[in-house]
A and B are shown apart, each in its own frame.
Chain A
Amino acid sequence: MRIALAATCLADTLFPGAPRATVRLLERLGHEVVFPAGQACCGQMHVNTGYFDEAVPVIRNHVETFAPVADGEWDAVVVPSGSCTGSVRHQQAMVCRRAGLHDLAAIADAVAARTYELSELLVDVLDVTDVGAWFPHRVTYHPTCHSLRMLHVGDKPLRLLRAVADIDLVELPGADSCCGFGGTFALKNADTSAAMLADKTANVRATEAEVVTAGDMSCLMHIGGGLSRQGTAVRALHLAEVLASTREEPTPLPDSTFTRPVTGAAR
């Protein structure tokens, strides 16, 4: 399959390990990955904060960049983020229509129909749950809100993780409760956000996991930010980074929550 990668603006700049691991994983599974250089952002932040007018050019850029998927140039678009996939699927066309851009909305719908979050692509489209990964660490999984309730990915990420060799997967207490990120909510309602985060990090720490993983770097940035502040050694790694790890080329554990390895997973 020819798969176009939407790396997401956040991961491109702050967490390039997540899209790199997505590339490595999909290529290992025998697929061709394309990175359309025109991409920037899906527009989620602007939409969710209410800045629809400012979101329009951002959405237009995303839709036009990935429009070739609707013409069959690529077979699918993969996004290593539940919330960005959710925004592509449930918000882009709506914002276009509200702005009177009905043609753009129609293309947005066509692109969205072929856009998948990573676990959806693997399980639903590529029909694989055992990706041949090896990750000999204690891991807990946070099912992010948009993956869970907007995309309804269900237990797909967990099925992928359970198939990883030598993983010690521990259940996260209160897993489906929001971590309190919510985009600009974390700034506009910082105190409430911090109260929610405190419960989430307490639950992560209770698992004694070395790694907390999720399908969305934005939530992991929040949870990891809390864990880092608390001085824990729990690392925040994207689901793709766990699934990309093999015996031959293991994803090394960073020294602390946000450190990045100098060698190894980079390739």
Chain B
Amino acid sequence: MSTFLGLPGLRRRVDDGAPDPLPEEPFGAVPHPQEPLRWGEAFPAAAKQTLANDQLRRNLGHATQVIRTKRAVVVDEVPDWEALRDAGSAVKQQVMARLPELLTQLEENVVARGGVVHWARDAAEANRIVADIAKAEGADEVVKVKSMATQEIGLNEALAAEGIAAVETDLAELIVQLADDMPSHILVPAIHRNRSEIRDIFLARMGDAPPDLSDVPRELAMAARAHLRRKFLSAKVAVSGANFAVADSGTLAVVESEGNGRMCLTLPSTLVTVMGIEKLVPTFDDLEVFLQLLPRSSTGERMNPYTSLWTGVTPGDGPSSFHLVLLDNGRTDVLADEVGRSALHCIRCSACLNVCPVYERVGGHAYGSVYPGPIGAILTPQLTASSGGVSGHQDPNASLPYASTLCGACYEVCPVKIDIPSILVDLRAREVDADRSRRGVDPWAAAMKAASWVMSDGGRFALAGRAATLASGLGGGDHAVSHAPPPVSAWTRSRDLPVPAGRTFRQWWAGRPPVAPDEPPTGLAEPADVPEAER
């Protein structure tokens, strides 16, 4: 079974001139930001930049198409897929309703089986805890399992500040880390890189890459494998995230494709797992649902190659010391919101990214968060709400709920049925309401208010429609307007606009003869001199 590694097609050369030189350093389109959940410009401006990168769009278009197709095939063959989605959604709803109780149960069971549980309110606390554990073990290097939670808190940078090197062992995360870049996808973080870029990154940054390394995926994987093997064998401490934690047994689960995660989970003597508090399932049996939903939704595989489960510590087998860090970092704020809380149901499969027509064009970096795509657009502003987020136009994250056409493709594929479009609309309303108390005239707000007045009454709307017919002479023979003042210029930059009709529908209706003797035509009375031409 092949595993998609986020290595899209060869870079297509645009000219026949000299071979490309090695890219200028740094490789990273995005150097690591201060806040992993808030960087760069607001979405429209950031997207404008990434849209200009034709190579990126081709890479993404190809890669998302491949994963989409694979997913569709393996989902279609499951007869009870919709029932599984319902079950996944129901389990997560139950988890959110019982979260405090289930977390306590998890803690008791982890401790009873020899683990240590830490509670972290925010990124700084979580980073402090992990750094202290590594220092106590005398480690200056830790190996890492691919983990969104540790991306979210910027753990690698925090450890580096304490003199501890964190080594990403997931191939795609390793590529991102070596390039000093940021991930652009939840599952395939280097999806924006092509083979030749990866070869260049390995040659320049890996240290022990073979000098004759080519851009054949197998050679790239073998180079990473040799590099990482040395790290696995020397590391004393491993850091992981968790896909699931089982409250009634204290079991943690990591689901992966490469096996590098399992090396981290079994070889070092100390294991630290950083887990968002929403990652719980109540019972071991519940895993059955998610272990069917997750691989088919994420990599388009029937079953992922490696599923590692561990419960506390087992003498003589695996790490002798296990720490679990339970991370809040804004999650209880999200939980408090009746509509938005279902964003916490997310199992990080990334199916919504792969089907999103916006993500496909702009890529992950435009979202300015380690959580890009549709799920990022509802999760990021909520997680950062207490520090700006859905409450201010100055905050780039306030633009994220608008980064969608509400096409609904994300909701359709979500394995736990998160109604992302409805949450996006709700977040927009929260944003608008938060703005109501601010000073100054927002042209959008003024326009919406005026439109509301016109559109809430048939008579007023009829008058507005008749006024609009006066503009029907614009645009010439093809009845199209190609230039308009702002804000309509945003439309006419790339599309024509139809001019209003010479007669509105309701004018036409009013001019019809009655259709039934006892049914006079409704509608606005029209003057007798309505022009016959329809235009």
Residue numbers of A with Cβ under 8 A of B are 7, 9, 11-17, 19-20, 23, 27, 32-41, 43, 45-55, 57-58, 60-61, 65, 90-91, 98, 145-146, 148-150, 176-178, 180-198, 221-222, 224-226, 228-229, 255-263, 266
CB of A224 to closest CB in B, whole Å: 7
| The 6 residue pairs across chains A and B that have the minimum distance between CB atoms | A182-B405, A50-B428, A225-B495, A149-B408, A57-B456, A40-B461
Q: Quick check: A54 and B479 within 8 Å, CB to CB? A: no
Known: A35-B509, A61-B458, A256-B480. A12 touches B409 (CB 8 A): no
Known: A15-B498, A187-B490. A178 touches B506 (CB 8 A): no
CB nearest neighbor in A for B431: A50
Which B residues touch A195, using CB under 8 A? Answer: 51, 57, 361-362
Bound state CA distance, A142 and B267, in angstroms? 55
Q: Quick check: B405 and A180 within 8 Å, CB to CB? A: yes
Q: Does B503 contact A (CB under 8 A)?
A: yes
Q: Quick check: B408 and A146 within 8 Å, CB to CB? A: yes
Extra A-B contacts (19), CB below 8 Å, given A37-B523, A178-B407, A182-B405 = A16-B501, A20-B508, A35-B509, A48-B425, A52-B432, A54-B452, A57-B453, A61-B456, A148-B408, A149-B407, A149-B412, A183-B405, A184-B402, A191-B47, A192-B362, A194-B493, A194-B494, A221-B497, A225-B495
Which A residues touch B448, using CB under 8 A? Answer: 46, 49, 51, 54
Which B residues touch A16, using CB under 8 A? Answer: 501, 503-505, 508, 534
Bound state CA distance, A195 and B456, in angstroms? 34
Looking at chain B's contact residues, is the secondary structure mostly helix, strand, loop, or mixed?
A: helix
Looking at chain A's contact residues, is the secondary structure mostly helix, strand, loop, or mixed?
A: helix
Q: Does B477 contact A (CB under 8 A)?
A: yes
CB nearest neighbor in A for B505: A16
Q: Does B77 contact A (CB under 8 A)?
A: no
Selected A-B contacts with CB under 8 Å, 23 pairs: A9-B455, A13-B465, A14-B501, A20-B508, A35-B521, A38-B458, A46-B452, A49-B448, A52-B433, A58-B456, A61-B455, A90-B422, A145-B408, A149-B407, A185-B402, A189-B358, A192-B51, A192-B403, A195-B362, A196-B358, A225-B495, A259-B478, A262-B535
Which A residues touch B490, using CB under 8 A? Answer: 186-188, 190
Bound state CA distance, A16 and B429, in angstroms? 31
Bound state CA distance, A9 and B506, in angstroms? 10
CB of B377 to closest CB in A, whole Å: 12
Which A residues touch B408, using CB under 8 A? Answer: 145-146, 148-150
Partner pick for B425 among A15, A47, A194, CB 8 A cutoff: A47
Q: Does B454 contact A (CB under 8 A)?
A: yes
Which B370-388 residues have C-beta < 8 A from chain A? none
Which A residues touch B498, using CB under 8 A? Answer: 14-15, 221, 224-225, 258
Which B residues touch A266, using CB under 8 A? Answer: 508, 534
Partner pick for B403 among A58, A189, A259, CB 8 A cutoff: A189
Which A residues touch B406, using CB under 8 A? Answer: 48, 145-146, 182-183, 185
Which A residues touch B494, using CB under 8 A? Answer: 190, 194, 197-198, 226, 229
CB nearest neighbor in B for A196: B357
